[in-house]
């Protein structure tokens, strides 16, 4: 389903003012600062930003995987229920069930001492009504679905017997065993070479279509965003600074940070680049400057920006930005 077809229905996931503070020896660190976004059924939302901008903590927070000294507040509505306040038992059914997660590093998600079949079947047993014989059949189907050759023969192999790309596929097969309605993917292809990256991304999109699944896709690769996502939200220093459809944001970025990121993508957007071309470094989260957090790096900054903090406001249908001078930024066109 496209984002356009999804507009008339309720969001699958609705994140409202999610905030995560770590109490550290050197004071509180606000890693996620009032983040709000919706994900529609069948939609792929890209969460983009430099390393340290709070993307992973956002995903972990909304799944209640942040523990003390981290403190999470806000609301995360999933099918009308708040994940942040629901009883732990109910949450366990949702996590790894209706909502599945895949991470950058498959080795941390796979159990090295269990054959992959058992890891898939465990998930099937926990989240489906299939009997033993059906679980084995489904395990083969899932390995086949994620593109593992000779799936039946590989069922009893251990994780270390798979290559990096194949391990990633195994992890996806395990995640999908529960027939999730939402997949949270945290840079799931960053460690892989480009050909395998493309195969895995295509696989996630096929699965989205097959399972009518929503996806939140964390990446710092704008090539990946252009090729996979319907909508995008750009994070800077723990906040969303701009959001909109991928087509709209790429055509006309309204935040100077987004404009800088897009300036680092070669023309045509075909090549993969890291987000490294904006001068300066993100602020320390323990010492966010007053006013706009991007001001020290921003070529559009004025006195107001250093005193007052801009909020994320809608400025066109489906578009939000937090910048006092976004119209000036948009009309400035692409950076030199």
Ligand X SMILES: Nc1ncnc2c1ncn2[C@@H]1O[C@H](COP(=O)(O)OP(=O)(O)O)[C@@H](O)[C@H]1O
Q: Decide if residue 260 touches ligand SF4 (CB under 6 A).
A: no
* Helix, strand, or coil (residue 28): strand
In whole angstroms, the minimum distance from the beta carbon of 58 to ligand SF4 comes to: 20
Nearer to Mg ion, 56 or 61 (CB): 56
Stretch that binds ligand SF4, among 19-27, 104-112, 262-270, 287-295 (CB under 6 A): 287-295
Q: Nearest CA to 124 among 181, 177, 183?
A: 177
Residue 78 binds which one of ligand SF4, Mg ion, ligand X, none, with CB within 5 to 8 A depending on kind? none
Q: Decide if residue 278 touches ligand SF4 (CB under 6 A).
A: no
In whole angstroms, the minimum distance from the beta carbon of 30 to ligand X comes to: 9
Cα 63 to Cα 84, 90, 96: the distances in Å are: 8, 12, 10
In whole angstroms, the minimum distance from the beta carbon of 286 to ligand X comes to: 7
* Helix, strand, or coil (residue 325): coil
DSSP H helical ranges for 87-150: 88-94, 106-109, 116-127, 132-145
In whole angstroms, the minimum distance from the beta carbon of 221 to Mg ion comes to: 12
Q: Decide if residue 56 touches Mg ion (CB under 5 A).
A: yes
Q: Nearest CA to 96 among 121, 63, 67?
A: 63
Rounded Cα–Cα distance for residues 155 and 139 (Å) = 8
Specify the pairing of strand 239-245 against strand 231-236.
Answer: antiparallel
Q: Decide if residue 235 touches ligand SF4 (CB under 6 A).
A: no
Residue 103 binds which one of ligand X, ligand SF4, Mg ion, none, with CB within 5 to 8 A depending on kind? none
Which positions touch ligand SF4 (CB under 6 A)? 255-256, 292, 294-295, 298, 300-301, 305, 310, 323-325
């Amino acid at each position: 389903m496209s984002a356009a077809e999804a507009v008339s229905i309720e969001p699958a996931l609705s994140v409202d003012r999610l905030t995560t503070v770590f109490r550290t020896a050197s004071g509180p660190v606000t890693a996620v600062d009032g983040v709000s976004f919706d994900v529609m059924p069948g939609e792929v939302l890209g969460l983009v930003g430099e390393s340290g901008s709070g993307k992973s903590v956002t995903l972990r927070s909304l799944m209640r995987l942040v523990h003390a000294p981290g403190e999470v507040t806000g609301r995360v509505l999933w099918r009308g229920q708040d994940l942040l306040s629901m009883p732990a038992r109910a949450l366990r059914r949702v996590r790894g069930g209706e909502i599945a997660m895949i991470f950058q590093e498959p080795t941390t998600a796979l159990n090295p001492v269990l054959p992959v079949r058992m890891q898939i079947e465990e998930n099937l047993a926990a989240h489906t009504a299939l009997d033993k014989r059906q679980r084995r059949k489904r395990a083969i189907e899932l390995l086949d679905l994620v593109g593992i050759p000779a799936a039946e023969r590989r069922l009893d192999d251990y994780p270390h017997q798979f290559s990096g790309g194949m391990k990633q596929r195994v992890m996806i097969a395990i995640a999908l065993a529960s027939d999730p309605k939402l997949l949270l993917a945290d840079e799931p292809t960053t460690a892989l070479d480009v050909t395998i990256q493309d195969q895995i991304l295509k696989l996630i999109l096929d699965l989205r279509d097959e399972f009518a699944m929503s996806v939140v896709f964390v990446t710092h690769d704008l090539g990946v965003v252009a090729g996979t996502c319907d909508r995008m939200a750009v994070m800077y220093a723990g906040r969303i600074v701009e959001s909109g459809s991928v087509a709209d944001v790429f055509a006309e970025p309204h935040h100077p940070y987004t404009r800088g990121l897009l300036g680092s993508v070669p023309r045509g957007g075909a090549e993969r680049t890291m987000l490294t071309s904006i001068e300066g470094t993100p602020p320390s989260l323990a010492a966010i400057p007053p006013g706009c957090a991007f001001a020290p790096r921003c070529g559009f900054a004025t006195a107001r920006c250093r005193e007052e903090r801009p909020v994320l406001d809608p400025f066109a249908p489906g578009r939000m930005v937090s910048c006092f001078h976004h119209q000036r930024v948009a009309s400035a066109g692409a950076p030199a």
